[in-house]
Chain A
């Protein structure tokens, strides 16, 4: 793919307001907070309110993306892809709920996608293809999750909630960034899964690291750099999927990318792993501070397993659109702490709820 005609017209974020601190969870399970915070690199995570799910989060992110893009007529959106591993229905799309809530119906195509934490970036690639072929003028890809960890599992410290929506297409002169190139690396690697009807996922513990996350993230990123001829030093920023606060730092090191270049997009330490939204919120947070002409590499990861990598160049149009919608940082900073009891109620962790 040569990336011709595939640019970002705008993007939007959403993170629920509630947070639970690692200390509050360790108190229940008798673990040492310092060991958890050190081991996972996560101090606190976002908790959705009892009336929030991946569809409501997607709608908030999608509406913010519409404000940011400045799209006057929502029916110009020709496709919506909703990427999630925690959809509200097993059968019935959430993409159509979003389409209705932004008034993009009825002349559009829509579908829900699932690929663990990378369904949102797979959606970006779908929209890129449809824009480049001329099938649609604008398309929206969303990553949104309210994922759960089994009580007492390490995932309970990391599974957060959030969403990000990207609108691609339109005129390049109005765009905030150009997607210069994308490529993917996919294999059948059983590191993490959830069977139908199961409340909580199963995972391979340490197996999720080396053969899963690192193999796919590094391979896709190296493939992107090889295909574009861009080297680590040519990048101004990099964003990686962030299941915890440690893996993306290690990935940057393995690729020879300075740690400072991933910091603007590293938000998992403060809101937890937002699954399908994690790399997209990281990219949004990076675009929030990036200047025209700067280059960003963004690489997602989904268990099962695969990575999508993107080379993005920031365009002049970004300055005119800044401040139209809430920045990622304003969501990260606006928070209210809850105790474990409230968290258990909001997440319906008690079987009778």
Chain B
């Protein structure tokens, strides 16, 4: 696979970006740029719409047409862009709070319509931008600034939600596996219909600090342990010759978890 130099796809004049040191959101943004290149998308015809949050701020650095919308509503703006100009490739960047709390309804309905969008949901289990409040994805027991004694609410499973809502491509990937991310994004961008990719990302500044998970490097290692198939991949790599059977880990299923062909909503008579 060819190596993609992403710098031409960045608004270099706007760099460095505003995100904290070690925040994995940037890794995801990079993989997305590689995927747009691999998918052969003309940058002039690529539109990325974002909500509000740290993850959403990333779009300002991507040298496409970028629409930094309102909190949670990016799928609605993107729907307008795509319907008005179907030849554009339209993607959405959204945070877990953005996409699953305030914007949950918009996300559900965009999936139901199976409109040709690619939605990237950055799940860091927290509201990063506003200073570490609990999110609908925060695991039970985790500390956030508004759950000082530990979260007592259950977390959303966005993949199950999106499959139920009718998304025709649903995947989950991790910021700690950038090559996989590149591949899944490429598939999502070339899928016709509503493609949803939840990316396990992190927030060392708040989630990491509150839950004693360390800084950027430690949190990346922590992220690799979220994969249900590989309890501890870096470690597993080291111990491959004596092959412990891992305990069934409590983690999440990763990969392309659902794919189907369904009529795509274009708002026009000739689909």
Q: Does B bind A?
A: no
